[in-house]
Structure formats: C-alpha cells, structure tokens
Structure 1
Amino acid sequence: MTPPNLLKMLPPALMVLVALLFGSSAYAQTSLLQNAPGRSVLSLNGRWNYIIDPYENGFYDYRREAFDQSKSGKGGYYDNQKPSSTQESELIEYDFDQSAGMQIPGDWNSQDPKLLYYEGTIWYKKSFNLKPQAGKRYFIYFGAINYESHIYLNGKKLGMHKGGFTPIQYDITSQLSATGDNFVVVKADNTRRPEEVPTINTDWWNYGGITRDVFVAETPATFINDYKVQLAKDAPGTLAGFVQLSGEGKANQSVTLNIAEAGIKQTMKTDAEGRATFSIPAKKLKMWSPQSPKLYAVSLSSGGDAVQDKIGFRTIQTKGQDILLNGKSIYMRGISMHDENPLIPGRARNEGDLRMLLTWAKELGCNYVRLAHYPHNETMLKLADEMGLLVWAEVPVYWTIAWTNPATYQNAEAQLSDLISMGKNRASVVVWSVGNETPLGDPRLAFMTNLVKKARSLDDTRLIAAALELHRTPDNVVHVDDQLGEFLDLTSFNEYAGWYWGGKPSEITKYTFDIKYNKPVVVSEFGGDALAGYHGDAETRWSEEYQEALYQSQIKMLSTIKGLRGMTPWILADFRATRRQHPVYQNGFNRKGLISSTGTKKKAYYVLQEYYRQMTQKYDGK
C-alpha cells in the first residue's frame, strides 16, 4: 500500500496514476454515446418496483461480504429470485414484484413520505421486452443515479458508478435474453461521504435514486460513437472537429458530414482507431447568439449508421476585461439555478419542468444562466440552445473536498470529462466551471489547476472558470487574489454583503473591490433570503423589502467594478435544502430565490429585471 503521508505529497496527476495502479472499477463503463437520447431508443421510464435496504441485505451476506464478489455471484437482490415450482419451501426474503412502485425518472424523497430524509440503499427493478437482433448493438443508458450505483442485467453485474449527475452507460448486447424477456436491477445509494464529489457537506437536498431518463439505445455493429462539430478556436470561418466510430469495422471507413442549409458536405476516411478529423471553410454560417439562436440540422453518416443533431455555431473568447461573443463585447445578464422546479416536489423530471425554469430566466431579462452546482440534465443544454441562453456548466467540486485522496481527484476528473462530453456540441455552453467556494491551500490549488488543465485538453473553444475565494480587510476593501484565478479565463467569486457580512443593505455600498487579475469579472453569487409574502421595512431580515434593498445596494456596489461583465445572483427560485431549518422563514428551503416555492415573483425580482433592461440597452442597443 502507498503510505498515506507519501500519498498526500503527490500532485493530483500522479494521484490518478496511483489510483489506477492500485485498482479502481468505479468508472468501468463504455465511452458515452454522443447525443444518446437522439438514437433509436426503448424507453425504460415509468413504474419501477423498489425495496428499501438500509442494512444492504441485498448486497452483503451476514459476514459483510458482497454477494457479487463471491464465487457463484449469486444471493443478492439483483438475482430477482423466485421460488421454483419444485422448491416452494425455499427461503427467499424479498420479492420485487410484490413490492411498491415508484416513477422513474424521479427521486425517492418526494415519492414516499417515509423516505423524505432517507440516505442509504434502495433497490430498483424493471422488466422489459427486447429481443436482440443480429448485427445490432444495445446500450443501457441512465441519465443520472444519485450517488453510487451498481447495475445488473438479468442477474449479471454490468458495473458500478460514482457520481449523482452524469450519465451511466453499458453495452448490454451479449447480456440480453434471446427470448426478449429481460430485467434490470439497480442498487442506488445516496449516502454522503467525505471522500466523494460532492463531499459530505452541501447546501442542497440530497435527492436519491434514478433521477433522469433511462433507455436502451440501438446502434449498428459499427456505429458513430462520438463527434464534435464546432467552430475552431478563434476562427469563425472554419468548422472543425472529429467523428469517432466504434466497432470491429471502424478503420478506413467513409464518414460524411452534411449541413444542407449551409451548403456544407464533406466525406472523410477514418484512421486505424476509427477517428476522422476535419477542418472545413464555413464562412456563410449564421452565428448563434441569445438574440438569434440559430440552429442547423447536422447529419453524420457512415455505413449503416446515421446521427442527426441540431447545432449552433458561435465563438467565445476574452480580450482584456471584455467577453467577446462572435467578436462583440457582451454583458452576461445571468441567474443561478438548481436542477429543481419549486412547483413540483423533488428533482426536475421532464422537459416541461426544465423549460419553465428557463422561461422564468428569459422573463427576468437573462441571456445567461449558471447551472449550479453539478451537471444538469442534457435536455437543459438543448433547451438553452433553442431558447438563446448562454450557459455556465459546473462539476460538484464544492466546498471542502478530500484534496489529497487519489480516488477523489479521479472521480472529479471523470465527472468533468463526462460533462464536457455531454455538452461540447451545445452552442449555449460557454463556460466550464471546475468548482465552487473551495478553500485556499496548496493541495486544493494542485487539485483545481489539474482540473483546469484537463478541461482545456478536452475543449479549447470555451472559457474555464470557478467561483473563487475572497477576503476583506478593515478598510472595507474586498480582495480577490485567489491564486487559482491566474489559471482561469474569468474572475468569478461569490459575495454575500448585506446578508452574511457587511451589515445592513444600506451599509454595503461602502465596500470597494481590489481585483488582482485583468480579466472579465462575472460575479457568480450574491443575494439574501426573503419569505414570499412576508413584509417589513428595508431593515427587516427575511422580508421581501430587505431582499429588495439588498439587490439595489448590491447592484450599486458591484457597478463600481471596472471590469464587471456579468453576474448570476443566487438564485432564480427557492429550493429545498436540509441545512435551512428555521421553522418560520425557511422550513427546509433556501429562500434566496427571486421566485418563491409557489411561483410568486418577489420584489427583488423586479429590481434585477430593471437592471437587466438597462444593460440590454447599453450592450445590445435595445
């Protein structure tokens, strides 16, 4: 074993190597299908039977040894065992088919009152009919399972995955029943642990279960597994990217890219690894922007496979303290949001829930949203493309992570890689964020800078950011000099003057900012709580008037920052948070939303809306 004290001295890049050398099966899954929901799919959404298993009886025997690691691999709930007609006296202490049902996608907390605060293991089972066809491949795909999942098909383990917000995929071609009768069993465990990502301490509800779509995707034997079709970095006249085939016949194959509306058609040959790269003149493309979210029908084909996507094209870069979208300076009028629609209990579950959130953002005057603090549903990114909203997409490297643990870094990097894979063809995504409010220190800096390097290696066409740390001095100066800022494209930070520090809202305009970096400033959070319908004066905490005054003073204070080029106040709508326990004003909700948990717009909403109207006139001439 590697000595713990030596392990703490290793940089994160070496931590990953050590983790691989000592073995880890946490990410043993096939590479994710690009645009998987756009394939020919068999939906497994709907009613799944479930068993609550706080002692993990379905996974371990009484000696605490995992059934799926035994010689027989039998004995766990994943067997979906039934008494045979000749062995009716056989002892079986579970029965999925007689157990309760739950709707998937959907968290368990909101579907069963006794599971509201439950953290632990729940087993899910779904039967489905799919008879495999010759010459086809089949992949089971889960949009997200929180947090650690073990997935079994017809009693055989497919794999284990950690991460509550990124897709999970396995090739099940050889495991499907020849008769077409199949069942899938999932062990989902949302237990919080200090070495995980996110860590044990968060400020959102720890929704457990299968929270996003489940389906089986069908492809030909040789198929288009991945692709990137975007404008080249700093080159609006060039379309660049790649197409990756998978399968035994992937080498030396013809691949055709066709964007009929733009008059672009190019055929390429794959190399020995099944990869074809391209760089094509594309001077006639109409640029995507929030004012004109133009999407093109893009077709990719090779042999018997064809993939359709809707893709927008734009450039994003920084120059000094400006953010340039398609070469023009912009102001990012934003709002933060969680993957939660307050009008329904639990996680957002479908396109309607997500579209409502983005519609609220548009009504507020936003051209930009921060999808905090973890990867959101892939559908959200497509809707942002369609509706014309820039996106900050983030991984849950949140607060105090186990900076020196190799497996923790491997986990964070895997989630970042999957996020970038999922969003790299979405014009709306302009920022990859590697973390939020992480405390200063050398191990943290090494961890975070390695994530930055990883993000740049995967995608050089977008901006890299994080919510940085700041500190105040007695002379009422807020200093932003976090060393991580040197490696990022934006200077972003969270500040809560008027709520957690700085006195009353009327007193915070005395603060000034000393910002070390000559980069665009995008304030990633500010705000304060207000219970909708509770009224007082501007100094009555929790009242709508207090929040209104706070926003007025915040805008006045932040407007003194020379390089201010955007903001995403916290937050669009009230959201559930176990930490928020005041029985009158919070009652299990973070009340910093500009919209209440019943959809009511608070007074501060209109303050920000008016400010964004002014910024629209200044930057867009409207």
Structure 2
Amino acid sequence: MSAQDEARGKGLDPGAGHPSTVLADFDHRQSLSLNGDWHIIADPYVAGLLDFHMHVNPNGYFNDQVAAPGSNALVEYSFEKSPTIKVPGDWNSQKEWLRMYEGPLWYERKFDYTPQPGHRAFLHIGAANYKSRMFLNGKLACDHEGGFTTFDCDVTGIIKPGSNDAVIYVDDTRMADGIPTLKTDWYNYGGLTRDVSIITTPQAFIDDFDLHLDRATRSVIEGYVHVEGAQAGTRVSVSIPEARLTATATTDATGKAPINLPAKNLSLWAPGNPKLYKVTLKAGNDTLEDDMGFRTVEVQGSKILLNGKPIVLHGICIHAEAPYRGGRVNTDADVATLFGWVKDLNANFVRLAHYPHDVRMERAADKLGILVWSEVPVYWAVHFDDEAVFQKSKKQLTEEITRDRDKASVILWSIANETPNTEARTAFLTRSAEFVKSFDPTRLVTAALLVRGEGNTKIIDDKLGSALDVIGFNEYIGWYEKTPEAMDQITWKIAFDKPLIVSEFGGEAKAGLHGSEHERWTEEYEANIYNHAIAMLNRIPQLRGSTPWILMDFRSPVRQLPGIQDGYNRKGLISDQGEKKLAFGVLQNAYKTGGLGHAD
C-alpha cells in the first residue's frame, strides 16, 4: 500500500459520525435544497485532511478558515477564492482540468437555515462517488462509502440558526477492495453527482416502510411502518383516500407497526396501467405522503407472473450517462430523454446497470409503466474472499432497497454482473441473495451470469443459478466470438427450470458509419448481430425477457480506438448525441410484434 493510499484510508475510516438509515421516501419530505454552485479545491495529496506525518490535521480544510484582514495567520487555501461547479454534477464533465482527475476533492458552500423547535435535521446526499466525509460548521457529521446509494447525516446537534457552512470531502479513487473494484467498463465520474439537501423531520419520524399486495389473493396490503425514535404504543395510520382505505396500528418496542389493510378494489399497477395512489402515513407528529402503485411479481416454474399473469419483459440496458451533455444523469430532462427513447423502442422494461440510478429514474418508471431491474456494482472480479467487501455489498443493497421498496416499477434486485465462477464467488453471492430475499421478500432476485460453450452449444449451469429466482445471462456472439451468422447454429443447454432473461447482447457501431453487414463497427454490422441474435434467442423456450446492451453510447476509458470509439463504448442503439442506429429499428420492430421472448 502506498503512503497516499494509507493516508486516504486513515482519513476516511469511520469516525465520530455515521450515516443514518436512509430516510424513507426522502423525495417527498420537507427539504431545503443545497443544489447549485459549490466552491471546490482538488486535493490529490490529501493536504486538507492530513498533515505531513499522516495524522488528521485539526486545522484542515473542513474548518474553512479565513485569515482576518491585517492578520498574520498562515492559511494556505481559500474556498471563497476557489472556482465553483454545479451540484448535483460530477467534476469530470464540468471542468476540463478535472476531466481525468481521480482523487480527493473538497466542496464548500454556505446556506441559511431556520431550525424548527422539536424537529431534527439531516444532511441528505443523493450520491457521492466514492468515499466521502461530511462536515457542518467545522464538525464531522458522518462519513460514507459507496458511490451510487443515498444516505443521510443527522446534523441536528450541529446545524444552527442563520448562516451555516457545509464542507464535503469526496474521493473517487478506485479501490481494490471497493464495490465496484478497480476496473470497470464505465467512466469513474467523481463528486456529488446527485441532489444535496437539508431534510427536516419531527423528533420521532417514519424512516422506513413496506406496503405491498399479498401474492396469494392480491386483496390485502400488508407490511409495516417503522418510526424512528417512537415509544412503544405510538399510533400509526395508513390511508389511501381514493380507494377509501384506512388502517391503524401501534408500534412495538423496536418502533415497527404491522399493517394489514383489506384492498379488494384496487386497480393493479402494470405496464399498460401504471396506476399510482396517493398514500398518507401518519405517526405522532409526522405525516408522510407517497405516490404508490400496487402489484405482485412472482415466479411459477420458468414463468414470471405480474399480478398473477405471465409476462414477457421487452427491455433495454441503460447506464446513468446523460444524453447530449455527458456526465451523470441527475435532471428531469435527462430522465425524460432516456425514457422517451425507451417508449419509442416499444419496451416495457429497463435494466438500470450497473449500480443504483438517480431516484428520478424509478419515479419516472412508476409513472410511465416501465418495469425495472435494479443492480449494485458487484462487478467482475471484486474480492469475494474478503468479509469486509461482502459487508460493503450488503450495505449498498440495504441502502438501495430501503430507498426504492416503495416503487412498483422495481421487480428485480440484481446482486452481480459477470462474476467469475468460483467457490468464493458463489458463497459470497448466495449470501447476498439470501439477504435480499429476507430484507425484501416481495421481489425477485437475479444476477447477470456468464455463459460457457462447448462447440455450438451454449451452456447455462453456473451454480449461482440455484440461489436466484430469475437467471440473467450475457452473450456476445458475433462481437467477442464467432460471426453473427454463427448464431444460426447455436443450441442452448439450460441446467435450471427457471425464467431466463438475456441481460446483455449486441455489438459496437459508430453512428453514421455505413458499409457491409460483415464490416465491423458499421451500423449494418450491429444490425446484423441483432437480427441473428433475436432468431437464436427465440429458440430458448424459457426466455422471458431481454435487455440488450445498451440504449445509448457511454463514456469508458477502456474504449480507445481512435476515430471510432474515442473513449466511448459504442454498443448503444443510439449515439450519445441522440442519433438512432439501424439496430434500434431492428429491436423496435421485434418488440412491436412480440418477437423476442415467450410468456409461457
């Protein structure tokens, strides 16, 4: 380990502050937005946190010191005189001098706040990639590891009336024992990439809830409401005025109140009927409103049932790469563009790869009737033999599920992508699957597996399949092996009587580059792959869905072919500038005619 790595490790070890449980439905709570311009200081030597002996510096940047006029004090930094960038937003796409920067960077801004008597305040971070420390008025609020999940710091004791000073340290240095690990096929956008705000709650508040239809009859809403800080016996109510439904319960010693609400006349949420109800939850002085759909999802043999009926998932993979402008997706306009293309594709399903996306995506999917596969970045060769890495994965799963368990659109939790078939990996991910099923038994668990081959036979027999409800698999015949025409001879051997989703297939093409269907990198070649792949995949009887790779080209440092890739993975059906390639039309037509996958 280098001295710099050691310094970063010491500087970011959990200290006095710890992130709280994600606030349930934070996007519907009273909040003060801290989005906008923040001052920044890039700090590759971690000078703002550690002294030259690698000890935490009590006079670090988090104190936001300013030398008074006429003072002889030595202060070697100034947020006030430093440049600004927008939050939310990664630093790479906003400043050319930071485009390839990986390391620590400090954010600072001042804001006014009026505390409410009898209430608590939380600093809410939509995402900070990858390790972060949050300071308020010079005091540590909390620290966090994980670049794509939401967290909240309790700042009740350190926020004050009037002017407050927030300083946030974010370090996107890739880590061998991180989630994800050192190497990915996407850009490592650093910074405060999603919304930042101050959220206000009563002293006792609803911090988690789960309300869902029972699978057996689809006539009862069951689950719980958890009230943080509540005394046993606190009254909780749940009401759905439009459906004339109300239930009451009381909390136990842990703050949890069980909910059981007869609901025989609900209009069930589905892609063709994305019905959302206004749900009101009350506990003591706390009132929370949410927009929720109600549906069931389950597996019956090799079928996926939505509301008790077989469904075919016509989907597409999406990275959180912003169309046109680049950088991370974090605006309503970004989401509207991406889902506009999804609808144009005749899709009813998206795989949000390879990490949790901005909450705007799931909210939009709820409204539009698009089903969602949500994933944590257990990607490629993470350290599967390291218990600490497993705990990091479990924490990210917890934060992901806590944030999105109220979204009807989310039907699949994915625990991994393209991981090596080893005993350590299988043990690690089997534990992950068991945890997810216990934490949210209302949804299905999946993972994108690798496929092995013997001659012209492709075999899906990864032992991890035994732990999954739905098996995803990635295959790239015609791109990484063989030719598109070779798919005509492929047969499949499946070791599991479970639903299959082809979670990735495709090839690269530069938008506007035309030629023979046998000429790599042309739109014609990519379209040729799709034509042969659709025919091949339809020969798998238990294929219940597909999410080809990928909706839009995205930036990746490992894709360097000049004049073609130029730092982008070109497997998109659409270029990063919105140009639809020929393969888009191939898949669009297949989905329009129901020509990919089988319901029964």
Task: Trace 1:277-288 onto structure 2 (pairs within 5 A).
Answer: 277-288=258-269
Determine the structure 1 residue equivalent to 2:154: 171
1:39 aligns with 2:29: yes
SS in 1 for 2:66: coil
Determine the structure 1 residue equivalent to 2:20: 30
Q: CA deviation at 1:77?
A: 0.3
Determine the structure 1 residue equivalent to 2:473: 493
Could you state the TM-score of these two structures normalised by the residue count of structure 1? 0.92
1:399 aligns with 2:380: yes
Structure 2, gaps ≥5 residues long: 1-12
Change (3 A) 1:120 1:49: same
Task: Trace 1:476-487 onto structure 2 (pairs within 5 A).
Answer: 476-487=456-467
Determine the structure 2 residue equivalent to 1:614: 593
SS in 2 for 1:306: strand
Counterparts of 2:151 and 2:400 in 1: how far apart (Å)?
A: 12
Determine the structure 2 residue equivalent to 1:114: 97
| 1:131–1:181 contact (8 Å) kept in structure 2 | no
Amino acid at match of 1:545: E
Determine the structure 1 residue equivalent to 2:73: 90
Determine the structure 2 residue equivalent to 1:4: none
Please say which of residues 87-96 and 191-200 is displaced more in the overlay. Answer: 87-96
Determine the structure 2 residue equivalent to 1:553: 532
Counterparts of 2:418 and 2:401 in 1: how far apart (Å)?
A: 21
Please say which of residues 227-236 and 319-328 is displaced more in the overlay. Answer: 227-236
Determine the structure 2 residue equivalent to 1:518: 497
Counterparts of 1:289 and 1:131 in 2: how far apart (Å)?
A: 43
Amino acid at match of 2:565: Q
Task: Trace 1:322-341 onto structure 2 (pairs within 5 A).
Answer: 322-341=303-322
Which portions of structure 1, spanning 4 or more consecutive aligned residues, are displaced by more than 3 angstroms?
23-27, 616-620
Q: CA deviation at 1:26?
A: 11
| 1:342–1:597 contact (8 Å) kept in structure 2 | yes
Determine the structure 1 residue equivalent to 2:139: 156
Q: CA deviation at 1:351?
A: 1.4
Determine the structure 1 residue equivalent to 2:127: 144
Q: CA deviation at 1:617?
A: 11
Task: Trace 1:223-302 onto structure 2 (pairs within 5 A).
Answer: 223-247=205-229, 249-302=230-283
Counterparts of 1:52 and 1:434 in 2: how far apart (Å)?
A: 34
1:362 aligns with 2:346: no
1:221 aligns with 2:221: no
Determine the structure 2 residue equivalent to 1:573: 552
| 2:133–2:142 contact (8 Å) kept in structure 1 | yes
Counterparts of 2:178 and 2:555 in 1: how far apart (Å)?
A: 21
Q: Deviations over 1:31-79 (max 9, x none)?
A: 1110112111000000000001111100110111122xxxxxx211000
Q: CA deviation at 1:618?
A: 9.7
1:603 aligns with 2:582: yes
Task: Trace 1:304-319 onto structure 2 (pairs within 5 A).
Answer: 304-319=285-300
| 1:27–1:160 contact (8 Å) kept in structure 2 | yes
Counterparts of 1:302 and 1:462 in 2: how far apart (Å)?
A: 27
Amino acid at match of 2:268: M
SS in 2 for 1:96: coil
SS in 1 for 2:447: strand
Structure 1, gaps ≥5 residues long: 1-22, 68-73
Q: Deviations over 1:436-493 (max 9, x none)?
A: 000011111111001001100111111100011221112x101100000011011210
| 1:258–1:298 contact (8 Å) kept in structure 2 | yes
Counterparts of 1:110 and 1:250 in 2: how far apart (Å)?
A: 48
SS in 1 for 2:385: coil
| 1:234–1:315 contact (8 Å) kept in structure 2 | no
| 1:455–1:464 contact (8 Å) kept in structure 2 | yes
Task: Trace 1:161-200 onto structure 2 (pairs within 5 A).
Answer: 161-177=144-160, 179-200=161-182
Q: Deviations over 1:372-402 (max 9, x none)?
A: 0000111111110000000000000000001
Counterparts of 1:455 and 1:143 in 2: how far apart (Å)?
A: 22
| 1:131–1:176 contact (8 Å) kept in structure 2 | no
| 1:27–1:161 contact (8 Å) kept in structure 2 | no
Change (3 A) 1:538 1:26: farther
Counterparts of 2:308 and 2:586 in 1: how far apart (Å)?
A: 30
Q: CA deviation at 1:578?
A: 0.7
Q: How many residues align?
A: 587
Determine the structure 2 residue equivalent to 1:563: 542
Q: CA deviation at 1:349?
A: 2.0
Q: CA deviation at 1:317?
A: 0.8
Amino acid at match of 2:528: A
Counterparts of 2:347 and 2:519 in 1: how far apart (Å)?
A: 28
Determine the structure 2 residue equivalent to 1:507: 486
Q: CA deviation at 1:507?
A: 2.2
Amino acid at match of 2:451: L
Determine the structure 1 residue equivalent to 2:8: none
1:81 aligns with 2:65: yes
| 2:555–2:568 contact (8 Å) kept in structure 1 | yes
Amino acid at match of 1:587: D
